[in-house]
Amino acid sequence: MTPLISLKGVDKWYGPGFQVLRGCSLDVARGEVVVVCGPSGSGKSTLIKCVNGLEPVQGGSIAIEAAEVTDPKTDMTKLRARVGMVFQHFELFPHMSVLDNLCIGPQKVMGRPRAEAEAKAMALLERVGLAAHAAKFPIQLSGGQQQRVAIARALAMDPVAMLFDEPTSALDPEMINEVLDVMVELAREGMTMIVVTHEMGFARRVADRVVFMDGGEVIEDSPKDDFFGAPKSPRAVEFLSKILQH
């Protein structure tokens, strides 16, 4: 079966002197959940930004559902509309109500009528437990609530896959679980997900595979149990021992 998302030997430079990704390869099958971890600056955020073309790459290839992200002929706006993305700092649109945050994509990008977009948005808000907050502005919500709205906003586009970049690392500890719970539920429903996170509890519960990055390289790509049971690389061992202390 061809993978839903496939990266082959991806190289990326920021400017001529600094190579941030070195020959990264990664396949994600439909319905798979892949957790990406690694030290700060290892290139995790860059990697997932490349997946939906927010950052261009200089070498290798990236494909989503057989559409080449790296092919200049690909309609990137169409492709991005099909891949949901959740950011560390939520990035809700502050000048719009929660409801409008969820409707703007379906209305302006997919051309759906307002009534249809609203009905779908309300259903999604219900699902993340925030239907009562539809009319509020993002600033009136807590961090955990904002991140759940951000997840709902991405889901409003009916994505084939979801990318998460440290979705809980900007949150107060007591709000982390409400966001992880939404993500666990999504994973169990069969959503294809790439999740950059250091929440190893989350990885243990729902990841199929764990990818460990360091220095712009994919050092290890193992089934979850292998990764936690017997990590192959010394760098992964060291990394795990550090973050599991907390």
Q: By the criterion CB under 8 A, which residues form the site for another protein?
A: 49, 52, 54, 77-85, 87, 89, 91-97, 104-105, 108-110, 136-140, 153-154, 157
Is 44 a binder of ligand ATP (CB under 6 A)? Answer: yes
Using the contact rule CB under 6 A, the part of the chain among 40-48, 94-102, 116-124, 222-230 near ligand ATP is 40-48
* Spatial distance between the Cα atoms of 21 and 100, rounded to a whole number of angstroms: 36
* Spatial distance between the Cα atoms of 51 and 70, rounded to a whole number of angstroms: 9
Scanning the structure block, which residue is given the tokens 């790459």?
57
Scanning the structure block, which residue is given the tokens 């070498």?
59
What does 42 bind: ligand ATP, Mg ion, another protein, none (CB cut-off 5 to 8 Å by kind)?
A: ligand ATP
Is 45 a binder of Mg ion (CB under 5 A)? Answer: yes
Q: Which amino acid is at 166?
A: E
Contact 44, 38 (CB under 8 A): yes
Phi/psi for 11 (5° steps) reads -115, 140
Is 14 a binder of ligand ATP (CB under 6 A)? Answer: yes
CA angle 165, 169, 172 (to 5 degrees): 145
Is 197 a binder of Mg ion (CB under 5 A)? Answer: no
Using the contact rule CB under 6 A, the part of the chain among 36-44, 99-107, 179-187, 231-239 near ligand ATP is 36-44
Is 46 a binder of Mg ion (CB under 5 A)? Answer: no
Q: Is 148 helix (H, G, I), strand (E, B) or coil?
A: helix
Is 42 a binder of Mg ion (CB under 5 A)? Answer: no
Burial 111-149 (b: 16+ CB within 10 A, else e): ebeeeebbebbeebbebbebeebbeebbeebebbbbbbb
Is 46 a binder of ligand ATP (CB under 6 A)? Answer: yes
Is 45 a binder of ligand ATP (CB under 6 A)? Answer: yes
Contact 161, 64 (CB under 8 A): yes
Q: Which amino acid is at 128?
A: V
Query: Looking at beta carbons only, is 43 or 144 nearer to Mg ion?
Result: 43
Closest distance to another protein from the beta carbon of 157 (Å): 6
Residue ranges of alpha helices (H) inside 156-223 are 173-188, 200-206
Using the contact rule CB under 6 A, the part of the chain among 2-10, 24-32, 42-50, 77-85 near ligand ATP is 42-50
Going by their DSSP bridges, the two strands 192-196 and 33-37 should be labelled as parallel
Closest distance to ligand ATP from the beta carbon of 44 (Å): 4
Query: Looking at beta carbons only, is 135 or 244 nearer to ligand ATP?
Result: 244
Query: Looking at beta carbons only, is 82 or 89 nearer to ligand ATP?
Result: 89
Which positions lie near ligand ATP, rule CB under 6 A?
14, 20, 38, 40-46
